[in-house]
Structure 1
Amino acid sequence: MKIRLKPEEYLLWGHGLAMAFGLAGLLLVLPNADFIASLPDFGQVAFRLSMANGGVMYMLLGMAAVTVYAYRLLGKKYLLSFLIPALAVSVSAELMGTSTGFPFGAYHYTSGLGYKIAGLVPFTIPLSWFYLGFSSFLIARVGLQKYNLPRWIYSLAAIALGALLLTSWDFVLDPGMSQTAVPFWEWEVVGPFFGMPYENFSGWFGTGCVFMGIASLFWGKQPLELSREQLMLPFAMYLLNFGFATMMSIGGGIYPPILLGILLGLAPVTVLYFSIPKASQATTTLPMVDATTEKMPVGAGR
């Protein structure tokens, strides 16, 4: 039987393949200088191009996958009310961080992640804040609905949990990406957490809370009646990126952050995802909608 993938699923596959290719280059090829030298001219050119653009490509594909997914499933309003705050808040935080050290600590980006905004922050960095932030927040928001919390507690809990899932990914990613053979960013003062300051994580959590909180105001209080199948893409996005971060940390011989990330990120997001009913089990299921109608079927309330 021929399987037809949705557009966002093709993009998700591309995102995963680009990450796998990047991991192979960073962890297998790059440390073996003799192998690189033995490549023909074409192979050496291809390797240089992949190292220069691989990070850009996987982030662009991740951005595209989540954007298409959110537009097709939720519609323009839900997409833009998360996309715009996520990009604006994250790029502002990153520009402050690279200029003043607040809120993440003193650091700077090296090369390999694309054109730098104001010469400081690669344009791809806000994209990753968006697609991982959206995936984390959507699963947290839908997964918490079954507890029938008072609406204001539910909204705050979804924001806090979404930001925690996002930050837990960084627990694992940051050590590997900043201490690989070719680091993508460098800390200007060595911190106590595998070279990073603790404020990096409070900065991540706070930044996530700000743009998720703004999005929550626009999304309103009505629950999103989504089935487990409909949340497959954000769940897969989280798993792929957590796996990438894990492999980077393992490649650098850094293991404790992986356990912390599993405890606070991977385990909760997995429990949430599998606690969400399948379409066959749910009494109300949100179908895939035509985003051009700008109508988002939601539950009647809690």
Structure 2
Amino acid sequence: MRRVISAQWITLAAHLAAMLFGLVGLLLVMPNTEFIESLSELGLQIFAMGMQGGGAVFMILGAISISLYGWHTLGAKRLFAFLIPSVFLSLGSELLGTSTGFPFGGYSYLSGLGTKIAGLVPFTIPLSWFYMGLACFLIANTTLRFGNHWMQRVEAIALGAMMLTSWDFVLDPAMSQAAFPFWEWHQPGAFFGMPLQNFAGWMGTGALFMTVASLLWGKDNQPILNRKQLVFPVIMYIGNFVFATILSCGASIYPPIFLGLLLGVAPVLGMWFSAAKEEDTVPTPALESLSTSPIALPKSSQPEVAARR
């Protein structure tokens, strides 16, 4: 158990470090042609490898770190009940979007994010939906500590999807309009070159796989985490938001940052502060047995959840 906990934090640190490396390359090294020309042949090869694969590496590390966290905190069955629908439904949306323009609008991926599935969508993109989607949904599920009626579960899904979309408010303009873009829009729109349809697609896709995961978890098996347990997904969200913010500043795109702060960061921090403190929770082991249904587990075997008031 301790090894899993250590590994989740190590891979999260590596995920954040990889994003920092990418920012240095995109914002400081690439515009400095004199520095690039001064590199040795080996240095040029390392730089080229970093720029071609750096985006894929940080997303892979993000998926690994949130998987280790989910394994320890939620148990294997809850983790896979979110991982499978989030990866496959988001991939379906992305393949549909790059093929037909629905639901995000007309766009296509360029290089730098890994090998493309069906020549359209980098394999890392569904991983980013997974790790950011799980972070957002676990934070949003904090609202369920005040009741678990179906309307409150809908509220948590909507809140999680909104926080996920708010990250894209900041990320998408920068990643598509930076000096080294990772995708391009064929359907220019009103939001800094992007169609507003893109955000409806993000909300719909996020809400879809969060709904499926919530149904698979079941009404009486929703993970409601305390403040200490939520530190990991909060750091994951804030770290990725800061990455997008710095990219946006580098591209001189500022209004989306304030929109993201209002609809993304503010709710994330608000949910974290409203979560139960550790002393208000039932202290139970976090890792469920792989061979036992989490719904049927006794309290002594279930993940730690917030005590309802």
TM-score range (shorter-chain normalised) is over 0.9
Structure 1: gaps (5+ residues): none
Check whether the contact 1:227–1:285 (CA below 8 A) recurs between aligned residues. no
Superposed counterparts of 1:122-271, under 5 Å: 122-141=122-141, 143-148=142-147, 151-222=149-220, 223-271=222-270
Give the TM-score, by structure 1 length: 0.94
Aligned partners of 1:5 and 1:260: how far apart in 2?
34
Aligned partners of 2:145 and 2:87: how far apart in 1?
30
Provide closer, same or farther for how the CA distance between residues 291 and 20 of structure 1 changes in structure 2, counting only shifts above 3 A. Answer: farther
What amino acid maps onto 1:265 in structure 2? G
Check whether the contact 1:167–1:205 (CA below 8 A) recurs between aligned residues. yes
Structure 2: gaps (5+ residues): 293-300
What amino acid maps onto 2:85 in structure 1? P
What amino acid maps onto 1:44 in structure 2? L
Residue number in structure 1 paired with 2:297? none
User: C-alpha deviations, 1:202-232, integer Å up to 9, x for none?
Assistant: 0000000100000010111224342211111
Provide closer, same or farther for how the CA distance between residues 31 and 167 of structure 1 changes in structure 2, counting only shifts above 3 A. Answer: same
* Cα RMSD, aligned residues only: 1.7
What amino acid maps onto 2:259 in structure 1? L
After TM superposition, give the deviation of residue 301 of structure 1 in Å.
6.7
After TM superposition, give the deviation of residue 44 of structure 1 in Å.
1.1
Aligned to 1:229, what secondary structure does the other structure show? coil
Aligned to 1:114, what secondary structure does the other structure show? coil
Check whether the contact 1:227–1:286 (CA below 8 A) recurs between aligned residues. no
Residue number in structure 2 paired with 1:28? 28
Q: Displaced runs of 4+ in structure 1, greater than 3 A?
A: 290-295, 297-302
Provide closer, same or farther for how the CA distance between residues 87 and 276 of structure 1 changes in structure 2, counting only shifts above 3 A. Answer: same
Check whether the contact 1:225–1:286 (CA below 8 A) recurs between aligned residues. no
Question: Does 243-252 or 224-233 show the bigger shift?
Answer: 224-233
Aligned partners of 2:192 and 2:171: how far apart in 1?
12
Check whether the contact 2:53–2:114 (CA below 8 A) recurs between aligned residues. yes
Provide closer, same or farther for how the CA distance between residues 162 and 39 of structure 1 changes in structure 2, counting only shifts above 3 A. Answer: same
Provide closer, same or farther for how the CA distance between residues 207 and 174 of structure 1 changes in structure 2, counting only shifts above 3 A. Answer: same
Aligned to 2:108, what secondary structure does the other structure show? strand
Aligned partners of 1:245 and 1:79: how far apart in 2?
26
What amino acid maps onto 2:201 in structure 1? G
Check whether the contact 2:95–2:121 (CA below 8 A) recurs between aligned residues. yes
Check whether the contact 2:226–2:275 (CA below 8 A) recurs between aligned residues. yes
Check whether the contact 2:144–2:156 (CA below 8 A) recurs between aligned residues. no
What amino acid maps onto 2:213 in structure 1? A
User: C-alpha deviations, 1:224-270, integer Å up to 9, x for none?
Assistant: 34221111111111011001110111110000000000000001101
Provide closer, same or farther for how the CA distance between residues 93 and 283 of structure 1 changes in structure 2, counting only shifts above 3 A. Answer: closer
What amino acid maps onto 1:296 in structure 2? Q
After TM superposition, give the deviation of residue 145 of structure 1 in Å.
2.3
Residue number in structure 2 paired with 1:10? 10
Report the identity percentage: 53
After TM superposition, give the deviation of residue 15 of structure 1 in Å.
0.3
What amino acid maps onto 2:260 in structure 1? G
After TM superposition, give the deviation of residue 291 of structure 1 in Å.
4.8
What amino acid maps onto 1:189 in structure 2? Q
Count of aligned pairs: 296
